[in-house]
C-alpha cells in the first residue's frame, strides 16, 4: 500500500468550498498533503490547505496543469472540465470519482437516461435542447423543469404549473419530469473503494424550504418503516454498482404515496445530506471519502446517536459582509454544534453554514433543531 500519511503524496481537490473545507479536517487528521484548485481567492479552503491555486474549474488548461502536479485527484463539486480529466486519466493519473461517471452525472439528461438504461426506478422524463423546442411539445401541467447542467441548491429547478410559467424558464438545454406526489424525500450515501468494498449510510429524511427548494433539515434516521428503509438502501446500492464509481455517491429519492422508491438524482461526492455524520456517525462522510478514494478499508457507517442537521442560509433582505446573530444562544443548547463555512459575503438563501443537533431521542432533536432554526440569523452588517 502507498504511504499517504506524513509523506510526499499529494492529494489534489477540484473545488475549495465548504465541502472541501470539511474534507480538510480529515486530511489534517491523517496528515495528508492537500492541494486545492478554486476560482475564488477567498474560497473557504484557501487559508487552510497545504497548497492553494486560483483558477477556473471549467478551463481545460487550468485543470490539466493542476492535475499534472498531484498524485491523485478528487472533486468537491461536479462542475469541472471533463475533457481535461479524461486526458489526465489517459496519461495515468488516478481520478475518483472517475471522469466517465462525472460525465454522466453532471448532465441531468444523461443521468436520467442512465437510470432508465440500468432499470433504476425513476420518474418519467423528456430531454430538450432549448426552451423553444420545449414549447412545441404537448405538455401535461404541472411538471418539473430542470436545467440540464449547472443547477444547484434550488437554482435550475422549477415546478411549471401552466403555460405562463414557461416564459419564466431559462432558454437552455433542459429536461422535464413527471411531478411525483411523495410522502418523503430521502437520501442514502454510498461509499465504494477500488477493491469494490461498498457500504451505505442510514437512510435520511430531508425537509425542504417551500420557496427556495433547498434542504432545511436532514433527519437521521429517517422516520420510515424498516421495509421502506431496506428498499431505499438496496436501490442506492444498485445505483452505485451500476456506475461502478469510486468515492462517495449521494442518492436522492422520493418515497411515493404507495411506498415505492424513485431515484430523483445523484451527486458523486460528499453531500449536504451527510453533514450530520460529522457528529452523529462512527465515521463521518468526509473521512469515508478519503478512505474510499485512497482504497483504504471503509469505516463504520452506523450512527452513534440520532442526528439532525439544520442548514444556515442567508436571510432574505440581507446582502454583504456576514454577521451570525444569536450564536451564543444556540451554543447554550445541549448537543448543538455549529459549522461556519468561512464565506465572507452573505446573500438570500446562500449556504453559509450548518448546525448539527445530536440527541438520544429523535423527536427531542427535531424540537431543538426548530429552536436553532428560529434563533440563529445569517444577516449582514
| Structure confidence at residue 120 as a pLDDT band (50, 70, 90) | very high
Strand-pairing partners, residue 339, are: 354
The answer to whether residues 139 and 39 belong to one domain is: no
Distance from C-alpha of 295 to C-alpha of 306, rounded to nearest angstrom: 29
Task: Indicate the residue among 133, 163, 178 that finishes a domain.
Answer: 178
Cis link prior to 359 (omega < 30° from 0)? Answer: no
- The answer to whether residue 113 is domain-embedded is no
Which of 99, 261, 75, 267 minimizes the C-alpha distance to 189? Answer: 267
The answer to whether residues 171 and 186 belong to one domain is: no
Q: Would you say residue 154 has pLDDT above 80?
A: no
The answer to whether residues 143 and 286 belong to one domain is: no
Q: Is 216 annotated as a binding residue?
A: no
Query: What would the mean pLDDT of 353-369 be, rounded to a whole number?
Result: 97
DSSP state at residue 286: H
Q: Would you say residue 90 has pLDDT above 80?
A: yes
- The answer to whether residue 321 is domain-embedded is yes
Sign of the C-alpha dihedral computed for residues 234, 287, 74 and 338 taken in this order: positive
| Structure confidence at residue 210 as a pLDDT band (50, 70, 90) | confident
Q: Is 265 annotated as a binding residue?
A: yes
- DSSP code per residue over 125-169: EEEESSHHHHHTS---SSEEEEESSS-BTTBTEEEE-SGGGGGGS
The answer to whether residues 201 and 321 belong to one domain is: yes
User: For the chain, how many residues are written?
Assistant: 381
The answer to whether residues 26 and 130 belong to one domain is: no
Query: Which CATH number is 54's domain given?
Result: 3.40.50.20
Q: Is 26 annotated as a binding residue?
A: no
The answer to whether residues 214 and 320 belong to one domain is: yes
Mean pLDDT (the chain, rounded): 96
Q: Is 89 annotated as a binding residue?
A: no
Q: What is the pLDDT of residue 215?
A: 85
Distances from the Cα of 196 to the Cα of 114, 140, 187, 298, angstroms: 21, 42, 21, 10
The answer to whether residues 129 and 50 belong to one domain is: no
Query: What would the mean pLDDT of 39-48 be, rounded to a whole number?
Result: 96
Q: What is the pLDDT of residue 152?
A: 65
| Structure confidence at residue 253 as a pLDDT band (50, 70, 90) | very high
Q: What is the pLDDT of residue 162?
A: 94
Q: Is 178 annotated as a binding residue?
A: yes
User: What domain range is 137 assigned to?
Assistant: 124-178
Q: What is the pLDDT of residue 18?
A: 97
Contact 13, 31 (CB under 8 A): no
Q: What is the pLDDT of residue 214?
A: 77
The answer to whether residues 161 and 269 belong to one domain is: no
Q: What is the pLDDT of residue 153?
A: 60
Q: What is the pLDDT of residue 151?
A: 74
Distance from C-alpha of 160 to C-alpha of 13, rounded to nearest angstrom: 37
Number of domains present in the structure of the chain: 3
Q: Is 367 annotated as a binding residue?
A: no
The answer to whether residues 249 and 367 belong to one domain is: yes
Q: Is 3 annotated as a binding residue?
A: no
The answer to whether residues 89 and 133 belong to one domain is: no
Q: Is 264 annotated as a binding residue?
A: yes
- The answer to whether residue 2 is domain-embedded is no
Q: Return the higher-pLDDT residue of 15 and 138.
A: 15
Contact 296, 332 (CB under 8 A): no
Q: Is 344 annotated as a binding residue?
A: no
Q: Would you say residue 205 has pLDDT above 90?
A: yes
pLDDT digits (tens, 9 = 90+) for 276-318: 999 999 999 999 999 999 999 999 999 999 999 999 999 999 9
Percent of the chain with pLDDT over 70: 98
Q: Would you say residue 155 has pLDDT above 80?
A: no
Amino acid at each position: 500500500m502507498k504511504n499517504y500519511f506524513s509523506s510526499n503524496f499529494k492529494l489534489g481537490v477540484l473545488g475549495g468550498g465548504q465541502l472541501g473545507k470539511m474534507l480538510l479536517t480529515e486530511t489534517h487528521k491523517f496528515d495528508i498533503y492537500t492541494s486545492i484548485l478554486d476560482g475564488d481567492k477567498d474560497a473557504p479552503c484557501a487559508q487552510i490547505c497545504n497548497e492553494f491555486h486560483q483558477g477556473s474549474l471549467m478551463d481545460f488548461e487550468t485543470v490539466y496543469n493542476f492535475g499534472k502536479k498531484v498524485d491523485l485527484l478528487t472533486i468537491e463539486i461536479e462542475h469541472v472540465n471533463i475533457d481535461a480529466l479524461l486526458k489526465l486519466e489517459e496519461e495515468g493519473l488516478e481520478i475518483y470519482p472517475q471522469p466517465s461517471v462525472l460525465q454522466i452525472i453532471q448532465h441531468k439528461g444523461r443521468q436520467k437516461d442512465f437510470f432508465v438504461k440500468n432499470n433504476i426506478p425513476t420518474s418519467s422524463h423528456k430531454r430538450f435542447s432549448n426552451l423553444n423546442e420545449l414549447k412545441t411539445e404537448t405538455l401535461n401541467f404541472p411538471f418539473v423543469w430542470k436545467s440540464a447542467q449547472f443547477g444547484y441548491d434550488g437554482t435550475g429547478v422549477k415546478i411549471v404549473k401552466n403555460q405562463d410559467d414557461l416564459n419564466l424558464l431559462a432558454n437552455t438545454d433542459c429536461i422535464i419530469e413527471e411531478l411525483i406526489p411523495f410522502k418523503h424525500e430521502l437520501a442514502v450515501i454510498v461509499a465504494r473503494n477500488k477493491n469494490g468494498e461498498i457500504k451505505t449510510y442510514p437512510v435520511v429524511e430531508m425537509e425542504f424550504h417551500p420557496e427556495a427548494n433547498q434542504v432545511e433539515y436532514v433527519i437521521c434516521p429517517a422516520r420510515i418503516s424498516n421495509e421502506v428503509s431496506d428498499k431505499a438502501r438496496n436501490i442506492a446500492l444498485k445505483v452505485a454498482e451500476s456506475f461502478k464509481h469510486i468515492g462517495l455517491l449521494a442518492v436522492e429519492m422520493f418515497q411515493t404515496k404507495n411506498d415505492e422508491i424513485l431515484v430523483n438524482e445523484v451527486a458523486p461526492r460528499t453531500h449536504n445530506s451527510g453533514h450530520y455524520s460529522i457528529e452523529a456517525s462512527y465515521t463521518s462522510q468526509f473521512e469515508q471519502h478519503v478512505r474510499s478514494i485512497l482504497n483504504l478499508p471503509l469505516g463504520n457507517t452506523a450512527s452513534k446517536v440520532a442526528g439532525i442537521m439544520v442548514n444556515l442560509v442567508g436571510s432574505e433582505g440581507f446582502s454583504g459582509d456576514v454577521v451570525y446573530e444569536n450564536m451564543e444562544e444556540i451554543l447554550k443548547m445541549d448537543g448543538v454544534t455549529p459549522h461556519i463555512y468561512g464565506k465572507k459575503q452573505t446573500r438570500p438563501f446562500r449556504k453559509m453554514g450548518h448546525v448539527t443537533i445530536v440527541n438520544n431521542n429523535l423527536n427531542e432533536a427535531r424540537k431543538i433543531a426548530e429552536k436553532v432554526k428560529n434563533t440563529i440569523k445569517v444577516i449582514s452588517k
